[in-house]
């Protein structure tokens, strides 16, 4: 995914070997703080997840980690719900048992930047990128 700019903010993929040294999305979210500081590089090295950051010229404002996933019949409450999902989105020749997907594994916003639309910006950017560039 290419770097996307939103004014002074930049949305980009973390580089190999890069570390984030400081991040705080609140005391109730220590696992999210710990992930970006300690675990994101390990997940990248093991090909488990790729992490993207939103930053300004001074600090990391938010991040999200993405992993490959799939959608299958077991993800729906009934076969009927699964068949409705398939019929609305895929032509007959594309109806298979599992469909590729991405999963947002982690999404954290720095406590000073919460409730300012950054989480929405992340989700909208991901939707734009994956729908537009597949």
**Residue-wise pLDDT tens digits, 27-64:** 888 999 999 999 999 999 898 999 999 998 888 999 99
pLDDT tier at 99 (50, 70, 90 boundaries)? confident
Strands across the sheet containing 60-72: 4-6, 9-13, 50-55, 60-72, 98-109
Other Cβ atoms closer than 10 A to 11: 24
Q: What is the CA radius of gyration of the chain?
A: 17
Q: How far apart are CA 7 and CA 65, in angstroms?
A: 22
Q: Which residue has the tokens 């996933």?
A: 69
Say whether pLDDT at 3 is over 70.
Answer: no
**Which burial class, exposed, middle or buried, applies to 4 when counting CB atoms under 10 A from its CB (0-12, 13-18, 19+)?**
middle
Q: Please tell me which of 80-84, 120-124, 127-131 the model is most confident about, judged by mean pLDDT.
A: 120-124
Nearest to 104 by CA among 70, 130, 73, 65: 65
Q: What pLDDT was estimated at residue 96?
A: 76
Nearest to 73 by CA among 95, 91, 97: 97
Residue 102 tokens read as: 């991405």
Mean pLDDT, residues 80-108: 81
Mean pLDDT, residues 2-20: 78
* pTM of the predicted protein model: 0.80
Q: How far apart are CA 55 and CA 97, in angstroms?
A: 39
Q: What pLDDT was estimated at residue 24?
A: 93
Mean pLDDT, residues 96-122: 90
């Amino acid at each position: 995914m290419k770097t996307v700019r939103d004014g002074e903010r930049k949305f980009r993929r973390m580089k190999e070997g890069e570390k984030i040294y400081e991040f705080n999305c609140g005391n109730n979210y220590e696992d999210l703080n710990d992930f970006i500081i300690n675990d994101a590089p390990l997940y990248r090295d093991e090909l488990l997840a790729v992490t993207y950051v939103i930053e300004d010229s001074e600090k990391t404002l938010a991040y999200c980690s993405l992993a490959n996933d799939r959608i299958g019949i077991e993800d729906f409450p009934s076969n009927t719900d699964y068949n409705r999902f398939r019929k609305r989105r895929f032509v007959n020749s594309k109806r298979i048992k599992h469909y590729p997907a991405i999963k947002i594994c982690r999404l954290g916003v720095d406590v000073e930047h919460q409730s300012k639309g950054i989480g929405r910006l992340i989700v909208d950017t991901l939707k734009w990128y994956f729908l537009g560039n597949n």
